[in-house]
Structure 1
Amino acid sequence: MKLKLDQLPDALRKGIAPVYLVSGDEPLQLGEAVDAIREAARAKGYASRELFYVDSGFEWGQLLEAAESYSLFGDLRILDLRLPGKPDKAGADALVRYAERIPEDAVLIVSLPKLTGDEQKKSRWFQALEPKGVFIQVWPLEGPQLIAWLDRRMGARNMLADRSGLALLAARVEGNLLAAAQEVEKLHILCGSGRIEDEMIRKAVADSARYDVYDLSEAALQGQLVRSNRILAALRAEGIAAAVALWALARDLRVVASVQAAVADGSTPDAAFSRLRIWDSRKAGMVKALQRLDREQVRQSLLACSRSDRIIKGQDTGEAWDALLDVCMTMAGRGPASRRLREDIA
């Protein structure tokens, strides 16, 4: 059974399933989901816990041995399996065997990075385990979802903030829920319960946003100029090489150009994405870029990348990070940025 993360508390109140699969790349939400399952299981009498962390030398027989043995004192058990990625063949075989003979005195919690739709459909271990219990996919939070999450988080501490304050907090901690949770705790310590004014948030919350070059490319593909400029500034401050940022922009632009060429030859975008082996998580931004940009705009964007590359290598005059902003501007259909426009964007 597949559940959304916000459906988990109600499901746990109704009873404990024999298997939980929790998948995702957002560590705070994934960890808290697993914690909630363990706490609910303990409340139902699952008193003992065995932790299995899969590394290169892990013996899958340990899990099967634990499943087939019974506690000396008849305790109900939690089998907590931590996977750093998809299980290998031995792991897949072991999980299929586990699904065939699920112990009556144990609940299995499997946590691992995000599983794509194809991995869910084609992985025999997943197909064996998922019908026996609950599957939860954890997704990163952005925009209104992040603001709603912050509102609930603050509400749990009896704090109330206006939407403008929540938006300010969201902008400060973008991409880092661990930092967001810490900032909410800090606000509670500094300000206590009750109404939290925007100025209180502005003074108390540090700028905890964390970006990488993939965030930059995603923002540029979607034509988000202000966000692109903010990410460029953050990457520069963190000491990221301009060449690395350029690589991410140029890589995704070449993919968009390839998809445009394939569509012009009669293919569909989905077929082109499949042939180019583009992950589902990267498709959304590229689809928006395909909708916004024609082939000439993509060509101009690649020419801007070429100029940026020459500047980074010292073969042309200019400032590297200004040239990267010009790439983002061109991807947004605006052309190279003037000094005044750069100041307006900032």
Structure 2
Amino acid sequence: MRIYADKLTEHLSRQLQNVYLLFGNEPLLLQESREAIQHIAKEQGFDEKHRFSIDNSLDWNQVADCCQALSLFSSRQIIELELPESGVNAAIAKELLALSSLLHSDILLILVGSKLTKAQENAKWFKALSAQGDWVSCLTPDIQRLPQFVQARCRKLGLKPDPEALQMLAQWHEGNLFALAQSLEKLVLLYPDGQLTLVRLEEALSRHNHFTTFHWIDALLIGKANRAQRILRQLEAEGVETVILLRSIQKEFSLLLRMHQQSKLMKMAQVFEKNRIWQSKRPFYNAALQRLSVAKIHRLLILLTQIELTAKTQYEHSPWPQLIQLSLEVCKPEHEIPFSTAFHN
């Protein structure tokens, strides 16, 4: 069964499975999920824990021995396996499939990995292991789901944010859930009554949101101009190299042009599959393709080249104002905003 990390505690209170597959890109959720499983397992007699990092030097016989070297006097054991960042290759897949046949009621397996791919989800090893337990999704909540995520954590701690405070908590901690957890613990101590308002938050907290280039790209694709500008301002304040941003958006423009061309020959679902676009990202690209014509993308590429020339040759001029203008023009439908002549010297 697939469950979300924020629902794991509820599931654990009903039943402890023999296998937990923790996959995602959010360190806080991965850590909390591990701790929650281990806490319940210890209460049920799983007193020994063996942790292995999977790499070329791992002796899989040691893992198998943990499953087989049990007697009437042995305690129940937790085996924790951490997958490499590069994912599961054929050799690892073979060992995991073999391991699935060795598991029994006195072994609890926790497998930890980064974001799960569609190929992994359909692999024999994954199906064999997931059939014996739960797959826990530990992905970072997106901006639409983040307020709901923050609300749930507040509820657990007895905090009662009003709508404005909830929105501010989400905005200030986007991309930094460790800081969110610390901030909520601080608020519990500062305000025993649990009531959270904008005034109280501003008095108690500073901003902890951490944006990346990927956040900016997503905002551009979906056409959220204000959000794109806010992200850019923070990236500038953090000293992010403009060349990184330019290369990233150039790659997206090239992808959009290719998808426009492919859409003439095949259905959009096939276009997404061909370009390996994640299901969760398809609404972003749909929005961009509907808003940005081929002609407009070509004009945006020209502006992009001009910004790159500024960044690499005109050191006395900051390219950030041009990047902000480019963001605005990417986000607006073509008929709403004329292309600025501010780029032309």
TM-score by shorter chain over 0.5: yes
Is 2:133 the counterpart of 1:133? yes
- For 1:66, give the aligned amino acid: C
Corresponding position of 2:217: 217
Corresponding position of 1:35: 35
1:172–1:205 CA contact under 8 A, matched in 2: no
Pair 1:335–1:309, CA change in 2 (3 A): farther
Is 2:319 the counterpart of 1:311? no
Is 2:239 the counterpart of 1:239? yes
1:117-156 matches, within 5 Å, as 117-121=118-122, 123-156=123-156
- Worse-matched range after superposition: 52-61 or 203-212: 52-61
Corresponding position of 1:109: 110
Pair 1:338–1:141, CA change in 2 (3 A): farther
- For 2:133, give the aligned amino acid: G
Corresponding position of 1:179: 179
2:188–2:194 CA contact under 8 A, matched in 1: no
- Residue 7 (structure 1) shift: 3.9
Tell me the TM-score normalised to structure 1 length: 0.90
Q: Deviations over 1:268-317 (max 9, x none)?
A: 23323333344445434222211222222222222221221121122699
- For 1:131, give the aligned amino acid: A
1:64–1:94 CA contact under 8 A, matched in 2: no
1:216–1:249 CA contact under 8 A, matched in 2: no
- For 1:287, give the aligned amino acid: N
1:300–1:330 CA contact under 8 A, matched in 2: no
Residue aligned with 1:253, SS: helix
- For 1:119, give the aligned amino acid: Q
- For 1:95, give the aligned amino acid: L
Q: Deviations over 1:157-212 (max 9, x none)?
A: 22211010011111111111111111111222333342122101012211111111
Pair 1:32–1:18, CA change in 2 (3 A): same
- Residue 332 (structure 1) shift: 1.3
- Residue 108 (structure 1) shift: 0.5
What count of residue pairs does the alignment treat as equivalent?
Answer: 337
Is 2:210 the counterpart of 1:206? no
1:304–1:330 CA contact under 8 A, matched in 2: no
Q: State the identity as a percent.
A: 26
Corresponding position of 2:162: 162
- Residue 71 (structure 1) shift: 5.9
In structure 2, what is the Cα distance between the partners aligned to 1:287 and 1:107?
42
Corresponding position of 1:296: 295
- Worse-matched range after superposition: 179-188 or 312-321: 312-321
Residue aligned with 1:107, SS: strand
Residue aligned with 1:109, SS: strand
Gaps of 5+ in 2: none
Is 2:5 the counterpart of 1:5? yes
In structure 1, what is the Cα distance between the partners aligned to 2:185 and 2:141?
19
Pair 1:338–1:192, CA change in 2 (3 A): farther
In structure 2, what is the Cα distance between the partners aligned to 1:317 and 1:259?
38
Cα-Cα RMSD: 2.3
Residue aligned with 1:51, SS: strand
